[in-house]
Chain A
Amino acid sequence: MAKITFDGVEVEVPDGTTILNAARKIGGSIVPPAMCYYTPLQGSGGKCRACLVRVAAGSAKDPRPMPKLVASCVTPVQDGMVVENTTSEQVLNVRKGIVEMLLINHPLDCPVCDQAGECDLQNFAFEHGVSTTRYQEERRTFEKIDIGPLIQLHMTRCILCYRCVYTANQITDNRVHGVLGRGDAAEIGTYIENVIDNDFSGNVIDVCPVGALTDKTWRFKQRVWFTKPVNAHRDCSHEKCPGRVVLWYKGKDVLRVTARKDQYGEVKEFICNECRFEKKETADWVIEGPAHIDRSSVISANHYELPVLNQQVIADLPESSVRDLEQNPPMKLGN
């Protein structure tokens, strides 16, 4: 075990834990943002530099500060390490710079982007950036590409986090897309026209921190904050698919299906394409209840936190349904 001090808070974590995960153990607003790191994806992280922190003391053995800021997502802790994130002016300034870099070639087309409202880059810029730009040059653009009937690639929005590449490598059985070219001309692509088509390919949509990979079946259907996320599951026939998802409702219609994400936007259980793209009827699913949405998220604007079933509605239900609800409560029953 290693004990570290992060923004003045002490925390003890197993050896080999990264600084970021130690901070996540503390939780709250001191946790560094992460745009490319993704816990379930081996090898991810270190690229976007959003999570840079200052190591004020390397370890108990060698308490010298580290000469440069380090990427907290890939740097392991050492016993006695002292880390500064929100308490370091330097870190906050550098982070502003990272926002600026990530945005100079970003189209800022949030008004027409399906990711708006649940976009890591939007949140990152809102929380850590400045509202003006010093960039006067032409922005880099790419053509939109359909990689198969279900997924659209809008490369112009991509921040090259490589998450979708790791996902294809680790979650699906064959990878047909990757990072092509290099430098700021690098792009996600298949090189020759190709279709990303396998049972788990849809997960690249969920791991994408921006609106570069989007679900074509959900395209322009609705702004995410007008939809209601509800946890649901089904007995999926695919052995690797847990069948546990979030259904995004507008009225009675399921507009899209996604995997469940934790508070850091990470999917822990990847779902199959059948669950994602083909099961869009309530009847396909066993409803569990409203999905947890962070209070600060724009999606919470619809007050879907802790809904309560109206007692009068319950009274009107047939007895079998009430029994069912009690045994398998989808949401909190009314008081």
Chain B
Amino acid sequence: MGRKLLTEHINVEGIDTFEVYRKHGGYRSVEKALKTMTPDEVVEEVKKSGLRGRGGAGFPTGMKWSFLAKPEGVPRYLVCNADESEPGTFKDRQLMSKLPHLLIEGMITSSYALGANTSYIYIRGELLYVLRILEKAIAEAYANGFLGKNILGSGYDLDLHVHPGGGAYICGEETALLESLEGKRGNPRNKPPFPAVQGLYARPTVVNNVESIAAIPVIVNMTGDEYAKIGVGRSTGTKLISACGHLNKPGIYEIELGVPVEEFIYSDEYCGGIWKGRELKAVVAGGSSVPILPKELILKTAAGENRLMTYESLSDGGFITGTMLGSGGFIAMDETTCIVRNTWNFSRFYHHESCGQCSPCREGTGWLEKVLHRLEYGHGHMEDIDLLVSVAKQIEGNTICPLGEAAAWPVAAAVRHFRDEFEWHVKHPQEATRPGAVYPGKAVLA
């Protein structure tokens, strides 16, 4: 059993209250930081920890913090991205609803490090009930002197607010999130300028994922150097993995980075294998936008090495034979899964969630969905398969924000690894569209 840094006390009765949380060592990082460290020293610890953004991109958090512009007399902001909505990812919801004070503690310590006196948690609108939990916990933190004026007599002031979204995946993109927080449509901004220079209300802003912020108290308490010892190589610390799909035990698992994928899927400590005694067919390892991999490539790299749950190992082989750890949304599919249908489903998602601002994404996501729909329902042509790849390529890299890539990658990867199944849909439309149809596999057809 690996170490649990974030979720050690998640099942303690009453841990969502200030009192119980405090009893279990809560808010120690605030005391340590505000009383014994300068803000820059906190940033330094985070840098040393090697913590990488847990929202999906994996960018080093400490480095992101060091980019924050600090012009004299201009307020700056820390905004927590709690707009969790990447299909397959549901870790932040659990963390916030069960351990609200951990996030709040992380926000206080991080805001202190960044010199922010007002911070926001932007939570997706669907999670209004979690917003209430957070607001209650924030009220407790105020009442106990951890928020508000002159926290713990340190002279440092911080106000923390929770802000709900309204139902838009795109607001997980940091500049769309800031637009949304300003009361506007969630249209991502052109960059530069980056939020670190002009973010919320055109002021310097850092946007961090819930899990990244929640790791800050751990890092401050144990020191960055100690945190960096956990994990493998540049994948330091622990990561929450949201496991879902055709698994015996779907759920949230906090793993030390470096667990072999095979162990994660099949061991009883984690997902307990594939449901109904079936075979694994494919895995989407880091949320719906990362490339899907067939069983043989998710368990082992193309070079035949065991694939590990780390940023590096999962991306071994690039996009030809590899994928990404992304947000840790681990979706397993059993042998009966129709890859065409699943790809269509993901494409429909990105089509639905495109903000419509820039032309390749607005038009391209709809095009992909329509072609995939045709293929899935037996009206496809052979040339449609290459068309999908071509349209995906026309979107990728040419859009304002990464939703373009998120929409393009799953389609390109599905065709790359499962072309024969797409072809089967074209050649045998009647068979393929029969309810409950299962692709018999290349070997059987041959």
* Chain A residues close to B by CB (< 8 Å): 45-49, 52, 68-69, 71, 74-76, 94, 97-98, 100-102, 104-105, 134-135, 137, 159-160, 162, 179, 181-186
Contacts and interface: CB of A to CB of B under 8 A. Distances in A.
A162 B357 CA distance: 9
Interface in B147-185: 168, 185
Given A69-B397, A160-B356, 17 more contacts: A46-B358, A47-B357, A48-B358, A49-B360, A71-B400, A97-B394, A98-B394, A100-B394, A101-B359, A101-B360, A101-B363, A160-B362, A179-B185, A182-B354, A183-B351, A184-B365, A186-B355
B185 A71 contact: no
B25 interface: no
Nearest to A187: B356
10 contacts: A46-B400, A47-B400, A52-B398, A75-B192, A97-B360, A98-B398, A137-B371, A182-B185, A183-B355, A184-B356
A247 to B, nearest CB: 34
Given A45-B190, A134-B387, A135-B367, A182 B398 contact: no
A185 B356 contact: yes
Interface in B178-212: 185, 190, 192
A101 B364 contact: yes
Contact of B360 (A76, A98, A160, A185): A98
A49 B401 CA distance: 12
A102 B359 contact: yes
A186 B362 contact: yes
Interface residues of B, number: 30
Given A71-B190, A179-B185, A186-B362, A94 B354 contact: no
A49 B404 CA distance: 12
B419 interface: no
- Main SS class of interface, B: helix
Contacts of A105: 363, 366
A334 B426 CA distance: 71
A159 B360 CA distance: 11
B4 to A, nearest CB: 37
A102 B364 CA distance: 9
Given A183-B353, A184-B354, A49 B367 contact: no
A97 B370 CA distance: 18
Given A97-B398, A182-B168, A76 B192 contact: yes
A182 B355 CA distance: 5
A64 to B, nearest CB: 16
A127 to B, nearest CB: 17
A104 B391 CA distance: 12
Interface in B271-301: none
A183 B190 contact: no
Contacts of A74: 190
A183 B354 contact: yes
A183 to B, nearest CB: 4
